[in-house]
Amino acid sequence: MKKIISTLFTTAILITSCTNGNLGSSDSPKTAEELKMELKIQELTTPTKYLTITGETMKHNLVREAGLFRKAEYDGWIVSGIIKNSATIAKFKDIVLSITLLSQTETVIEEKNYVIYEFYESNSTKQFFIKINPPNATDKFNIIVKDAVAVD
């Protein structure tokens, strides 16, 4: 009886030491294809992490320049900037931008979403233009990427 228990105990120790405590797992490194697929899934599920806006400006939308006997005419404002997709594999489309208009005291006057219906390839940049009509009390604005649709 002691011999059977001793043999079972020794066998259990050998099995545990051979598998290093990782029963059923393999220590083989992931292939390049597996790593690429993991990166693609990560990028596709978090578009706001890879889409950024730079150079954002808000200027009067000039319709008619001033002349000798007339004033310049404006129709709203143009918000412009550059959207950069820094993802290495993922492509996106239909970027949702959120524009927040602020007063001089930093109070939110208005917040509105706008969709840019274009494709953004990986590691690319594109300029955008959005026409808005802000209230007179608008002094500043913020713009962020709120969402995007991933493209396979």
128: its two tokens: 């955008």
Predicted model pTM: 0.73
CB 83 within 8 A of CB 55: no
pLDDT of 103 reads: 94
Phi-psi region of 20 (alpha: psi -120 to 50; beta: other; left: phi over 0): left
pLDDT digits over 114-125, tens only? 999 999 999 999
C-alpha distances (whole Å) from 53 to each of 49, 56, 71, 118, 122 are: 11, 7, 34, 15, 15
pLDDT of 18 reads: 53
- Identify the band that residue 8 occupies on the pLDDT scale cut at 50, 70 and 90: very low
pLDDT digits over 18-50, tens only? 545 444 455 778 888 888 888 888 888 999 999
**Angstrom distance (rounded) from CA 115 to CA 138:** 22
20 DSSP assignment:
T
